[in-house]
Amino acid sequence: MFTIYSCYLGKKIEHNLVIYIDKSSLITKSISNVQQPIYLNYNTTEQYAETFYNKLLNEVTYQTNISITDDVSKANYTLKLNYFEVAESESRQVVNDAASPYNGQTYFLSEIDTKCNFDILKGAEKIGTYTAYADKDEKLKNNQTILQLATGSNKDNTQYREKSLPSDICNDLSEKCGRRTWNLFTQKLVKKLK
């Protein structure tokens, strides 16, 4: 089944608009809520923020009626980026399957969250504050792997394993958050233009 979450799709802007993207007071953070981060330390906070911002700018290119300016006085609207965060945390999950030899075993699963808080301004007037999110977490799986299918083991799905995330997941989610920030901005802007 294929599902599209409309809250992450940008809206086509029908009017010709000039947008100023203000990142002058953007606060960026990498937050580890675990003692030994698995994914967060692959890049620096600055690299994640740059990846986020570059992807946001890339999304602008899909809007034919929008141009970006470096001069706020020429802008119809301003996208003011306030806060960008990449965070790693973990949750504890216990196998609760009496038929499994793993019953009662505890797994610590990592979760990566990114978010961007931004304002939309018309001139100096703030007309809205919004937050875009992107996240992904490790999973506890008991279905058969390719190797188990080939050998005929774990047919009863009683063997559990941790499904890890890709090592560059923080970078991927920074990009996704950049896309979602721009798309949420265009959604809210279309509503303001009506």
**Confidence band of 167 (pLDDT split at 50, 70, 90):** very high
Mean pLDDT of 101-117: 90
Helix (H) or strand (E) holding 133: strand 125-137
Q: Which domains are assigned to the chain? A: 17-137+167-193 (3.30.160)
**Confidence band of 145 (pLDDT split at 50, 70, 90):** low
Mean pLDDT of 159-165: 79
pTM for the full model? Answer: 0.86
Per-residue confidence (pLDDT) for residue 185, from 0 to 100: 95
Q: What is the 3-state secondary structure (H, E, C) of 11-37?
A: CCCCCCEEEEEECCCCEEEEEECCCCC
Number of Cβ within a 10 Å radius of residue 95: 17
Per-residue confidence (pLDDT) for residue 117, from 0 to 100: 98
Distance between the two ends of the chain, CA-based, in angstroms? 34
| Cα 99 from Cα 119, distance rounded (Å) | 52
- Do the beta carbons of residue 16 and residue 32 sit within 8 Å? no
| Cα 12 from Cα 9, distance rounded (Å) | 10
Please give the DSSP secondary-structure letter assigned to residue 144: P
pLDDT tens per residue, range 180-189: 999 999 999 9
User: Is the model's pLDDT at 2 over the cut of 80?
Assistant: no
Mean pLDDT of 16-41: 94
